[in-house]
Structure 1
C-alpha cells in the first residue's frame, strides 16, 4: 500500500459529511480504507462516529474484529494469521470507487463477510472487492463488525444480543449519509453477504432501523436451516458466558468464547454455528413473528438467494474424522456424497427455496440460484465458499488456497468476470432474465414464484 501524506495534493479526496476523506489509488480504483464508522464499549450498542474536524486518513486496511483463528479454514482459503490484526472498541469499513468518470451516481454494493459469526474481515486479501468495482463500475463497501461472544450472544447477565447486527446497521447509516459524496447512489444499495454474512443480510431486512438503508439483498449460502430453535442452546451458552467480567482482558474473552462454543454441543447441526442472530431481542422480532415480518417487507426488497451444489463438502474436508470415513474403500465416497447432499439440503438449500417462495408470494421480487462451479473436483467440489475465488479478489490472491489449488489463473479470471457481471447486473436494478445459466455451468438461476 502506498503511503499517503496528509498534505499530498495528488491524493484522492472526498468531502463527505463524515469529514474530508483522503484515500489512495490502486490500479484503476480509488480505495478509502480503514474508515472508522462507529466506536464501541464491550457488550454495548455501537455509537456512530461523529463527523471529523480533521482529515480522515483512509490509507490503511481495516483492522479485524477480535477473533480466534481457525487453522483449517485459513488453509482452505489461503490466508495467514498475520492478516487478522485486530482492535477492540472501534469499527471500520473500506470503500472502493472506480477511478473513472461517471455520468450518474453509481450503484453501491455492501459486502458482509461470512465466517459463522466468529471469523473473517472485510479487507482480507481473498475478499478483495477491487475487480468487482473496477469491471462493473459500481462502488463496493466492505464492512467489519463484532463477532462471537462480543457480537452475537446476549440475553444473559443484562448483556444485549445482536450487537454485531447493530454494528452493520450503523455501517449502513454511514453509507446512507456519506456515499453520495463519493459518487454513489444512496437509493441504490445492495447487500451481498456470504454464509453468516448472507444470514445477516436476510435478517437486516426485518431489523428495526434499516428502513430505506438498502433496496436489494444477495444472500449467498446462508445457513437459514439452523437459524431457528436456538433459545435453549443460547441459554446454556449464556450460563458459561456470564462468568466473564465486563472488563476481562481480551485474551480471556476469546478463551471463554471457546468454552461457550463447547457448551453448545449436543444441539445437533445448530451447534456447528453456535453464535448468531437471536430472535426476540432488539432489533429482531420474536421467532413466532419472523415469517410475518419477512412477508411484510417483501415488496420493499429485491432478493437473489442461493447455494452451492455441495455446500457441506467444505466441512467434510476440514474434518479429519469425516475425511477418514470418506476414504474408506468402496463405500466411503458414496456415503460422503449422501451426507453432503442431505446436510446441504437441511442447512442451506431447503430454507433458501422457502425464503424465495415466501418473498415472491408476498409480492416481492426474488430469484434463486444454484452454483455448480467445481462440482466433481476432488476434494472440495462445489463446496461452501467456492464462489468467493470467482466473485472476490484476483487469482494471485488465491494462490495459497487449498480450495482452488488445481485451478489455473486464466479459468479463475474468466469465470470470475462472468459471475461478477451477474451479481452487478442484479445490483443495478434488481432484474435478471426469468431463467438463465452462465456457461460453462457456473451458476443457474430462476425467478421464484
Structure 2
C-alpha cells in the first residue's frame, strides 16, 4: 500500500474474525497505511500506542528476514513479547516489577511506536528509536520502565522501542552452525523497517536518532558500522556503553563456544537457556570482559574485522551526529549485588576507601576512557560530537550517580520508577523537574544534532555537557 501519514479513526465495519467492539472503542482507534499493510493502534490519552508490530521474522539461529505484507489490518494492541531469558535477580531487586506482566517468545522481532495523538496529517516530527540494555541477556523494548509517553507528549517526537533476541538466542553464535550477531541483525532489520515505514506514522525519516543505554548504547555504536546501515539514521545517542570491554574478546568467545558446544535447533528453549550460565562461567577468567560475556562479534556479519573497526567509524563519522557519555559512578550498581565486594566494602576503616577506589578504577576502565576515545575519534574524523556526564545522585540510595540512574529522567514515569530502590527517597516532583529538562536536551538533539549552549541551565547537579566544536 502507499504510505499515508493521515491517521484516521477506524470505520464502523468490522474485519472478519475481529471481535465486535462498541463505538467508543472504535473512536479511540487510529489506522495507518504502511508498505507492510494497514496497522491499527489505540489512542491513549495524549499519545497513540501502536504495539508489537513485527519488523522481521526468523527461526531459531536464523538471520532475520522481512515479514511478508499482511492483507488484513494488523491490530497492534499488545506489547512486544520479550526474548526468552533467565531471571535477573539483581535487576529485579533494583527495579522492582520491571518485568511485570511481560510474556516471552522466541519470535520477538517486534517494535512499538508511540506518537503524539494530535499530529496533523501533514506533520513530520523527529524519530527516536530506543535500543534497550541488559548486558545482551536481559530486558525488552516494552518494559514499563521504558514507557516513552512523557518524552513523546512533551517533546512532540515519535518514539520506537525495539525488542530483539538476547543471550544464547541472539548473541552466542560460533559463526558456523549458529550465526553470530543475530540480535544485532535483528536491530538492523528494525532500524531499516523504521526508516522505510515511519513516515506513515508522522515521523521524519531523515531525522531518525538511535538512543540506547548500556548494551543498547554499545549496540548503537556498532550499528554505526554495520553493513547495510548507512543512511538509515542520522544521529546516535550512546548512553553508558561498556566500550572498554568490547575489544579483544576472541579467546573468550572461543572458550564459551568450547564450553557449550553447538546448541540444538530443535531443543526446548529452556534447554538452550540453561547453557547460558555455562558460557558465562567459561568467560569469568577473562576479567572485566567476562562481566559481559555475551556481545557483538567483529568479523562476522554485519560487522567488519576488529582491526578495521576504527577506520569504519572514521568513515561514517561525518554522516552521524553523536551524543555520547556516561554516569559518574557507573559500576557502583554492580558492586551492590556482589556479596564478596560488599564484605570487602564493610571492612572497618578501609572499606569505604576501597569501595571508592574500586568503583572509580572500574568505571574509568569500562566506560569513561573508551567513551572519550570514541568521541575524540569521531570528532577528529569530521563528525559532530557532544559529550555528557550524568552526576545526579538520588536521595536515600547507596548507588550514587550509577549505571541506569539517568533512565528515570528519560523514560518510564512515576508508576514505573517511583517505588524502586534506584530512586530511594527522592521526591518524585524533583525527579520530574530534572527529567523534563533532560528530555528536552535529548529531543532537541534528535531534532537538530546539537545541544544548545543554554540547554542544561538548571541542571548543574544532574547533567554536565561538553559542546566543544568539531
TM-score, normalised relative to structure 2? 0.92
How far off its partner does 1:377 sit? 5.8
Segments of structure 2 that go 5 or more residues without pairing to the other structure are 1-17
Which deviates further from its counterpart, 83-92 or 428-437? 428-437
Query: Cα distance, 1:438 vs. partner?
Result: 4.5
| Secondary structure of residue in 2 paired with 1:402 | coil
TM-aligned CA deviation for residue 79 of structure 1: 2.3
CA distance in 1 between partners of 2:58 and 2:108 (Å): 6
1:143–1:171 contact (8 Å) kept in structure 2: yes
Q: Alignment partner for residue 309 of structure 1, among 318, 328, 334?
A: 328
Q: Which residue of 1 aligns with 2:230?
A: 211
More displaced, 200-209 or 152-161?
152-161
1:242 aligns to what? 261
Q: Please give the root-mean-square deviation of Cα atoms over the aligned residues, in Å.
A: 1.7
Name the counterpart of 2:12. none
1: CA distance between counterparts of 2:98 and 2:241?
Answer: 25
Separation in structure 2 between the aligned mates of residue 186 and residue 204 of structure 1, nearest angstrom:
17
Match of 2:47 in 1: 29
Q: Does 1:178 align with 2:197?
A: yes
Q: 8 Å contact 1:436–1:444 — kept in the other structure?
A: no
**How much has 1:434 moved relative to structure 2?**
5.7
Q: CA deviation at 1:27?
A: 2.1
Q: Does 1:260 align with 2:275?
A: no
Q: Are 2:31 and 1:13 aligned?
A: yes
Q: Distance in 2 between matches of 1:205 and 1:425?
A: 21
Deviation at 1:101, TM superposition (A): 3.1
1:446 corresponding residue in structure 2? 466
SS of 1:20 mapped into structure 2: strand
- Does residue 373 of structure 2 align to residue 354 of structure 1? yes
Match status 1:98 vs 2:99: no
Structure 1 unaligned regions, length at least 5: none
Partner of 1:403: 422
Counterpart-to-counterpart distance in 1, 2:396 and 2:402: 10
Distance 1:429 1:156 in 2: 39
- 1:367 and 2:386 equivalent? yes
Q: How does 1:14-413 map to 2 (within 5 A)?
A: 14-79=32-97, 81-102=99-120, 104-374=123-393, 378-413=397-432
Secondary structure in structure 2 of the residue aligned to 1:120: coil
Whole-Å Cα distance in 1 between the matches of residues 20 and 295 of structure 2? 40
Superposed CA deviations along residues 232-288 of structure 1, whole A, max 9, x for unmatched, are 000111112324212111000110111111111100100000000100111100000
2: CA distance, partners of 1:55 / 1:25: 17
Secondary structure in structure 2 of the residue aligned to 1:15: strand
For 2:20 and 2:155, locate their aligned partners in 1 and report how far apart those are by CA, in whole Å: 31
The worse-fitting range, judged by mean Cα deviation, of 31-40 and 74-83 is: 74-83
- Separation in 2, partners of 1:215, 1:203: 14
User: How many equivalent pairs are there?
Assistant: 446
Distance 2:169 2:437 in 1: 37
